[in-house]
Structure 1
Amino acid sequence: MNFNEKDLKQIRDRKSELSTIEAQLENFRTGFPFIKAVRPATISDGILRLDEEKLEKYQTLFHKKAKNLLKFVPASGAASRMFKSLYSAKDEGKVDASVQQFEENLQKFAFYNSLSTFIKEETLKGKLNALLTPQGLDYGNLPKGLLEFHSYPEKARTAIEEHLVEGALYANHKGRVKLHFTVSPEHKKKFKTLIDQVKEEYERKYEVKYSISFSEQKSSTDTIAVDAKNEPFRDDKGNLLFRPAGHGALLENLNDLKADIIFIKNIDNVVPDHLKNETVKYKKALAGILLDYQKTIFSFIKRLEKTEVSAYMIQKANRFLRQQLNVEPPKGFRNWSIEEKKAFAIEKLRRPLRVCGMVKNVGEPGGGPFWVSNTDGSVSLQVVESAQFNLQNKRQKSIFEQATHFNPVDLICSFKTPENTYYHLPDFRDDQTGFITEKSQNGKTLKAQELPGLWNGAMANWNTIFVEVPLITFNPVKTVNDLLRKEHQPL
């Protein structure tokens, strides 16, 4: 692709790499390949189930060994999608069952008291204007983290406040709680203002000290858009158009953080205090599992990298990879030389580690746990979105439909090395797992590209352990009426 000097300056100013943009253009031309699923991950075949004894064991291990903890919350998502049907009612007069449910239960929402001060007329349109527009609460223009989610006797709590509370309950080391929120630039000040208002209140209540940081999705991770002919899309001024590349872009933000254990959880997946116990219990247990596996991984790496290593030790390491880390070697592996088997074991062990909670599949849209064939011929566990499957292929469709579990974005991660340094996370991304979507700009159709999803292709080459967690730990708020579910209502 021949870019002109103006284009090259625009690319430099964005701190983007020309080679990266050229690779993105090639992706538009060739498309992304579908994944090759081997089978769904199920209980006893890729997914661990914890009995009470193991649950207790791993929580105890967490309490004894965990340190340098951090909770990472992607919080830049706009709440506007939560109110899609309400916008249709406000702007076009389309009142469907969800709008009726919203109006009939208005007083049950945690934000009702705040909203009532802005309602100037008791019509549906008056209420919606008060909720969605800058003349009222302006919820249509705010991120989910700043919305009041839950009612308590003393006050209503926003989603971000619920994460402060969660952080105090499981990401707390010696009274210190570190949280990191990714936010959009236009909302960063509002987040900081809210935190400043409530921080001391929660520090007193939970006897902790918070260390809270923020980052924004880097403009250098935005991807170039193209037209129908896969040529760079240009705006009315002839500039190249770049678009945010989905949550996979947050890999760069995650890579900038330094902690021994990082808890990842979406901003809208929180519950009131009376339901937090199961979440806290399993978060600690999953982190205990991570510490247990990491100790064994580090021990194998140190032994394998000595000058002289026995064939037995190499065999033992590869058995651990297969049986515990769910990494199946390529076909013909048994015929490899001992040195090749040793190199394979070291390569697969020297990777970031994640423990992912999985809930039973109840028909929610999104990704799930599968055994997937990798480009090097090995097979490993992956979190795969439906869009990554070739559902026209009968076998792949059958594997997809056999999935018993669903990904609730409940991750405990560590990218610490045995030498107490940190892995460079982009090195472990599978760049062939991006997405191409169709969008529009000023009435013109364009194609946009999303980077490999943060917990999908961005972590494709991590060591992965799947653990079943209770359904009660997964309570996302995708539409405003989800806040009416009993899980989000007070006792």
Structure 2
Amino acid sequence: MNAQLEKQILSQGMSLENAKEQLKNFKEGFPFLPIERAATIGDGIKLLTEEELAHFQKTYPEKAKQKEVVKFVPASGAATRMFKDLFSFVEGDGDISKSKFVDKFISQIEKFAFYEDLDNTLKKEGSSIREALENKEYKRIISALLNDSGLGYGNLPKGLLKFHKYSDHNRTPAYEHLIEGWMYSLGKDNTIRLHFTVSPDHEPKFKSLIAEVQPKLEKEYGVKFDITYSQQKKSTDTIAVTMDNEPFVEEDGSVLFRPAGHGALLENLNDIDGDVIFIKNIDNEVPDRLKQTTKEYKIAIGGLLLEIQEKVFEALNKLDLNVDESAVSFAEKVFTELLGGILPDSYQVKSLEEKGKYLHHKLNRPLRVGGMVKNTGEPGGGPFWVKEDDGSLSLQIAETAQIDLSNPKHKEIFSASTHFNPVDLVCATKDYKGNKFDLLKFRDMRTGFITEKSKSGRDLKALELPGLWNGAMAGWNTVFVEVPLITFNPVKTVNDLLRDEHQ
């Protein structure tokens, strides 16, 4: 590693040791996840009864009033991919008959919440959307939506796009997250705390949007909103390399560093001081008419988290007091029954003292409850039982890329998977003594990803850190709960907004 490269690495806020580890990962790759079987109902995924749902609707709100509750929303990504087909159309010959996607977009354009804004933008140029449609000026309409000279939707983050129509106003996902936060994130001091991770370019626009609606909502609901922001840290960017695994040097002689995926946000999550932290993606929001089910299940997984945490803390305190048969038996029960942990064969031959130490180590970890929806063929991660280094089994969320599909056994396990990860998490990141865990210590760095990209016409390899809800939380205690499919309504393309769930 030459002096210039070392200087640039240090200026990134990255250690040389970390950089060397990244270069080593490019050369050696990452191992596949040692999955044992898919988590299913009754075997790693809990199905809540009507009685349990009703119980948590009562217990959670009272407990939450004593807690610092935070809603953590990753919101930094640009919406560019939402409009991929529209960009292609504008760059092409403008023949709408060649694209069913664009034809659907144009033929139902009045249904979009941004229709009025787009119409006003076009009127400033001289004619309305209706007139542009009559003249078949489809490129002009789409360009006005995407380009910075118009609405600029092609370069804005999803959180700032108008998603939903209401009788007297329209809402962005950021606005919807505030409403949803009021439904289940009310904590200490009658305050709803939301934290958005945003890009530096877009933070002023987020603040401007929130400033518009916050006073109105505080007055309407009789609460306070505490909204905070952070950016993905520059120090979490990773080195890009050539296809020969050498640092990718740009024309100006500098080495290329790239954002390392959502796993980089573990640092942002680590900075949050909260007792209960809900995590939900920015685009998974529905209009008010469909929010009730989401509210009930968010309250339920929050209530379940707090009940399990109480028992975990009780077990740890008992082990601290005295490692006797009673304390070890209680800790075993909490680990295997409440957390669903599976002890290794080697556990049975340990002495009482060793068992107590082992269980203390296993229980004293960050805790999460994750909602899982039935698999409908969506691409992405799912819940699996994974073999740990000590022989125990733990519940993990695994992405498809982490599974060796060339291995017949693993392919069969993957095919038997019944559930999908919608990113519906509630987390507890403080220990039984009230101290914050250092979440970086519970990340499995062997679960990163290597992807192939290009820059300035040259191929390169990019490194993604372990995903935020995958390897970044590998060392957490995890409980999975089935949640209804209606709670999962992401917007991957602009035409997803035409689905009934977003109308």
Using structure 2 for the length normalisation, give the TM-score. Answer: 0.95
**Mean CA deviation greater in 164-173 or 388-397:** 164-173
Q: Deviation per CA, 1:96-146, whole angstroms, max 9, x where unpaired?
A: 111111011000001101111122444110110110001211100000000
In structure 2, how many angstroms separate the alpha carbons of the residues matched to 1:320 and 1:294? 10
Match of 1:388 in 2: 402
Match of 1:170 in 2: 184
Match of 2:91 in 1: 91
Structure 1: gaps (5+ residues): none
Please tell me whether residue 34 in structure 1 is matched to residue 32 in structure 2: yes
Question: 2:118 touches 2:151 (CA, 8 Å); kept in 1?
Answer: yes
Question: 2:367 touches 2:476 (CA, 8 Å); kept in 1?
Answer: yes
In structure 2, how many angstroms separate the alpha carbons of the residues matched to 1:440 and 1:309? 57
In structure 2, how many angstroms separate the alpha carbons of the residues matched to 1:337 and 1:450? 42
Deviation at 1:63, TM superposition (A): 1.5
**Mean CA deviation greater in 288-297 or 84-93:** 84-93
Match of 1:15 in 2: 13
> What RMSD, in angstroms, separates the aligned Cα atoms of the two structures?
1.1
The 5 Å alignment of 1:72-471 reads 72-93=72-93, 95-119=98-122, 120=125, 121-122=132-133, 123-173=137-187, 174-306=189-321, 308-471=322-485
In structure 1, how many angstroms separate the alpha carbons of the residues matched to 2:164 and 2:434? 40
Match of 2:496 in 1: 482
3-state SS of paired residue (2:332): helix
Match of 2:2 in 1: 3
In structure 2, how many angstroms separate the alpha carbons of the residues matched to 1:192 and 1:412? 25
**Structure 2 counterpart of 1:109, one-letter code:** F
In structure 1, how many angstroms separate the alpha carbons of the residues matched to 2:273 and 2:108? 44
Match of 1:52 in 2: 50
Deviation at 1:339, TM superposition (A): 2.2
Structure 2: gaps (5+ residues): 126-131
Question: 2:323 touches 2:352 (CA, 8 Å); kept in 1?
Answer: no
**Structure 1 counterpart of 2:426, one-letter code:** I
Sequence identity (%)? 53
In structure 2, how many angstroms separate the alpha carbons of the residues matched to 1:375 and 1:341? 17
Deviation at 1:330, TM superposition (A): 2.2
3-state SS of paired residue (1:186): coil
In structure 2, how many angstroms separate the alpha carbons of the residues matched to 1:240 and 1:329? 46
In structure 1, how many angstroms separate the alpha carbons of the residues matched to 2:23 and 2:390? 25
3-state SS of paired residue (1:467): strand
Deviation at 1:11, TM superposition (A): 1.6
Deviation at 1:333, TM superposition (A): 2.0
Q: Deviation per CA, 1:59-89, whole angstroms, max 9, x where unpaired?
A: 2111121121110000001101000011111
Deviation at 1:309, TM superposition (A): 1.7
Deviation at 1:208, TM superposition (A): 1.5
Deviation at 1:252, TM superposition (A): 0.1
In structure 1, how many angstroms separate the alpha carbons of the residues matched to 2:364 and 2:425? 19
Question: 2:323 touches 2:353 (CA, 8 Å); kept in 1?
Answer: no
Deviation at 1:375, TM superposition (A): 2.2
Number of residues of Structure 1 aligned to a counterpart in Structure 2: 486
3-state SS of paired residue (2:462): strand
**Structure 1 counterpart of 2:86, one-letter code:** L
**Structure 1 counterpart of 2:68, one-letter code:** N
Deviation at 1:205, TM superposition (A): 2.1
In structure 1, how many angstroms separate the alpha carbons of the residues matched to 2:208 and 2:481? 37
3-state SS of paired residue (2:2): coil
Using structure 1 for the length normalisation, give the TM-score. Answer: 0.97
3-state SS of paired residue (2:461): strand
